A and B are shown apart, each in its own frame.
Chain A
Amino acid sequence: MEIKGEYKIAAPRDKVFAALNDQEILRACIPGCESLEKLSDTEMTAKVRLRIGPVSAGFAGKVTLSDIDPPNGYKITGEGQGGVAGFAKGGAVVKLTEDGGDTVLTYEVDAQVGGKIAQVGARLIAGTAKKLADQFFGKFAESVGATAAPAA
């Protein structure tokens, strides 16, 4: 399953890339994020509460940044154990291109679930992942665009 999307952000590319690496912004934008602790510049532990179909579960796991290519993009991946609900993992390849003074962010998401979540929610996972990705990148574009706007 692959989910793609595109956002236009009213901020220069360097700024957008910096925001993608700003753990405060990530914490604010990851849907259901209850905590995000920095382990290193590229590794964080996170607690996230998600609802997939009828299953609501808290996931504890890792968020990793990889394939970092400033300011063109990177890959953000997460993997969490949801206790008795099973597990969820997924990632997004994010690419940034310049469009005048703005930045076009494109993403491609893949997601996988296991255990009880897959048992009752597997056919809902594509829709859920798309919704989560839109929530994340929508909020991200809004917050980066908003803070960037006065400077423009």
Chain B
Amino acid sequence: MTATGIGARVLRTEDKRFLTGTGRYVDDLALARATYAYFLRSPHAHAKIKSIDISAAEKMPGVVAVYTGKDVAESKVGGLICGWVVKDKHGEPHKAPPHPPMALDTVRYVGDTVAMVVANSPEEAKDAAEKIKVDYEVKPSIVDLAHALDKGAPQVHAEAPGNLVYDWEIGSKADVDAALAKAAHVTKIDIVNNRLIPNAMEPRAAAAEYDKGTGHYTLWSTSQNPHVLRLILSAFVLGIPEHKLRVIAPDVGGGFGSKIFCYADETLVCWAAAKVGRPIKWTAERSESFMTDCHGRDHVTHAELALDKDGKFLAFKVETIANMGAYLSTFSTAVPTYLYATLLAGQYTTPVIYANVKAALTNTAPVDAYRGAGRPEATFVIESIVSKAAQELKIDPAELRRKNFIPSTAFPYQTPVALQYDSGNYPPIIDEAMKIADYKGFAARRSEAKARGKLRGIGFSSYIEACGLAPSQVIGQLGGGVGQWESAQIKFNPTGNVQILTGAHSHGQSHETTFAQIVSDKLGVPLENIEVVHGDTATTPFGMGSYGSRSLAVGGSAIMKAADKIIAKGKKIAAHLMEASVNDVVFENGTFKVAGTDKSVPLAQTVFAAYVPHNYPLAELEPGMDENAFYDPANFVYPAGTQICEVEVDPDTGVVEIVNFTAVDDFGNIINPMIVEGQVHGGIVQGVGQALLEKAVYDSDTGQLLSGSFMDYAVPRADDVPSFKLGYKVTPCPHNPLGVKGCGEAGAIAAPAAVMNAVHDALAPLGVTHVPMPATPMNVWRTIHGA
């Protein structure tokens, strides 16, 4: 390991600009003659638009244009798409109601776009929007997921009768029912996975410019995947040829999934830029983000786990209703199916598993992938029921888990729910976590807490996730509309420094450091001579972007492939320069050498020769040192780990305090431990937020978003979490060249179950078996007091 190579704790390159306020975000963009958009949004959860009068708004000062859904429809703008076709249990594709970027005659959630004002300033646009008169006929709405599929529930779309998008299943119901019927013990749970609002630090923003001379559009967007956004806008929504549309996602301040999707706002900004003939800028206000960013989670689940008399899992049955919101967002249908039910084996050998998932439409903001996307929901169900079973059977929760772990000798392990785990070794992980958490000393800590009037509890969560999205052919078989490979280009400049161009996108993941470390390590180029370029469809090769903890496992692997090509070409040049046979040339620490001699040529010299090919084998070799690679993974990667959370509950107030938190993860090989720790810390904090604080609430009568600001939606703060204790176990991924797995989502995937299991353990002496998530003081107090 070098001081800056793979495994080194290198400080983040990008921090210099982020910490000195010199990052460049969409809203920072200065565009000559810019106009500003404001979107008028529906104040009703469900209403017919009887009429819209824009005449007064058009006369307001500074107004350039006002558009309604009719204008958009007349321009033949296509609907926003759901890119993943899930087939229901009868083999029928899911119901796909239209999703116009601007409502035409009906609004379906509070925040649905009704009109767009373009003006010389944001203030003038907003003032003019005040003058738009919309005559609504309010209709009954449904926001309560548990009742969305009830007979007689208000209908969100005529195209989806009964609000049912699909009724999907995986696994053998008959086998699972048979096992449940004769099992020595069956544990049952009914749980709700609370709805979350992503709250990226930077709100969504878009800016667009149309060049009349060339017919060329440029769209700046806070996107996690600019190439995919361009593809969707070109092929499905706006019909702008791909080569006439450039999408740039510059510095982006967090996404957590919410910036994967193609939204109405950026679509309309791009569309209208050509119509008004001037650039248009738009940045969401924080309250718009709450209202219109795709939300996350929102499941209602019943599950049953069958165990034999020794505590071996025999069968697992899960029935889930998943909220889709009012329209199907880009990834929405895949999240509660292929990213959820396929994970229900967890770390265990459960031989038969059956899951039934019903996706429901409601009059709420669309729901889509949010940090972990499906896998946190799966982990929450599995780890909640396993801990409950342990409590019912009076078995130590760690012991019950260990009894059912997939043994290390069983890999590759085929689960009963489609996935084949490539590698893993779970028992050492839980052992390490228990050691770090001082599990043995817990009983004494519990007694000591009791003496202080506090109820202390400990909770486990042993997660598995499938990330590194994903083998393209598997995705195709599952109804996904795109490939899931990643691209890389390594471009040497004549003076020897390097640009790595990646199709992945960094919006908090530190690619500029990690990817540079890989190339520094592999090619022996000093870190300061490497720059990572991403986020611009005009400069980077087509790539799929960043989500699903895929950037390193897939994007990093593409970089490794490109580096291999650089080495292969450099070898040929070096052989020519050293008058040696290519087969005798080896590459070590940035230098080509002829084995067994003292002849050597540094890589930089071969690069110079490639650009100034005066002494160069031009007959066999092209000049230049610029290599492209595309990498399609052979399988998902399967990070796994165990978290142990220890809480103290104040029975008088219901306040839960996290007093210890341990996470031991197997992420395969680690490129930069400091960055991994940052990802794990952030993930755990988001998981703790879901467990203790966060809940998106719509009023069940009116469909109004009640938790629509930071006054009513609580995100975790520094004093809500303790200092985390982390550990690692490494089983390298066998099928990618770096041996890496993903680390971006793990913390958020495992933490909710760890925290809730700890809360349940703390309250067990009071006879409490279930506290609804989030375990706010009110929820805990009410549960304790049966109120």
Contacts and interface: CB of A to CB of B under 8 A. Distances in A.
B44 A83 contact: no
Interface stretch (A16-24, A41-49, A107-115, A130-138): A107-115
A115 B711 contact: no
B110 A83 contact: no
Contacts of A112: 702
Contacts of A147: none
Interface in A100-152: 112-120, 122-123
B40 A118 contact: no
Interface string A41-76: 000000000000000001000000000000000000
A81 interface: yes
Contacts of A118: 43, 110, 699, 702, 704-706, 708
B43 A86 contact: yes
B712 interface: yes
Nearest to B706: A122
B133 A119 contact: no
Contacts of B290: 119
Interface stretch (B123-131, B163-171, B212-220): B123-131
B129 A120 contact: no
A14 B415 CA distance: 81
B41 interface: yes
A116 B711 contact: no
Contacts, number: 62
A84 B702 contact: no
B291 interface: yes
B422 to A, nearest CB: 45
A119 B699 contact: no
B706 A123 contact: yes
Contacts of B126: 84
Contact of B287 (A120, A122, A123): A120
B55 to A, nearest CB: 15
A83 B291 contact: no
Given A115-B43, A118-B110, A81 B133 contact: yes
Contacts of B134: 81
A120 B290 CA distance: 10
A86 B114 CA distance: 12
B42 interface: yes
B131 A83 contact: yes
A119 B702 contact: no
Most buried by A among B290, B704, B705: B704
Given A114-B44, A115-B41, A119-B709, A83 B704 contact: no
Contacts of B129: 83-84
Given A83-B129, A84-B126, A114-B702, A119 B44 contact: no
A114 B287 CA distance: 13
B42 to A, nearest CB: 7
Nearest to A88: B43
A114 B38 CA distance: 19
A69 to B, nearest CB: 28
B708 A119 contact: yes
Most buried by B among A81, A84, A113, A120: A84
Contact of A113 (B133, B704, B711): B704
Given A119-B287, A119-B291, A120-B709, A114 B130 contact: no
A88 to B, nearest CB: 10
Most buried by A among B134, B291, B706: B706
Interface string A78-91: 00010110110000
Nearest to B39: A84
A120 B704 contact: no
Contacts of B40: 84
Given A118-B699, A119-B290, A122-B699, A83 B130 contact: yes
A85 B679 CA distance: 38
B257 to A, nearest CB: 22
B705 A119 contact: yes
Nearest to B701: A112
A41 B705 CA distance: 37
A78 to B, nearest CB: 16
Contacts of B44: 87, 114-115
A84 B130 contact: yes
Nearest to B705: A119
A114 B712 contact: no
B417 to A, nearest CB: 39
Contacts of A117: 43
A119 B710 CA distance: 10
A112 B454 CA distance: 42
A119 B132 CA distance: 20
A114 B704 contact: yes
B130 A120 contact: no
A98 B144 CA distance: 46
B380 to A, nearest CB: 28
A120 B708 contact: yes
Interface string A4-15: 000000000000
Nearest to B697: A122
B706 A114 contact: no
Contacts of A84: 38, 40-41, 126, 129-130
A58 to B, nearest CB: 8
Interface in B704-755: 704-706, 708-709, 711-712
B110 A115 contact: yes
B450 to A, nearest CB: 36
Interface in B282-316: 287, 290-291
Nearest to A84: B129
Interface in B23-76: 38, 40-44
A116 B699 contact: no
Interface in B82-140: 110, 126, 129-134
B699 A120 contact: no
A122 B704 contact: yes
A129 B620 CA distance: 84
B736 to A, nearest CB: 44
Contacts of B709: 119-120
Interface of B: 38, 40-44, 110, 126, 129-134, 287, 290-291, 699, 702, 704-706, 708-709, 711-712
18 contacts: A81-B133, A84-B38, A84-B40, A84-B126, A84-B130, A86-B43, A87-B43, A114-B43, A114-B702, A115-B41, A116-B708, A117-B43, A118-B110, A118-B708, A120-B708, A122-B706, A122-B708, A122-B712
Given A87-B43, A116-B43, 15 more contacts: A58-B130, A84-B38, A84-B40, A84-B129, A86-B43, A87-B44, A114-B110, A115-B110, A116-B287, A119-B110, A119-B287, A120-B287, A120-B711, A120-B712, A122-B706
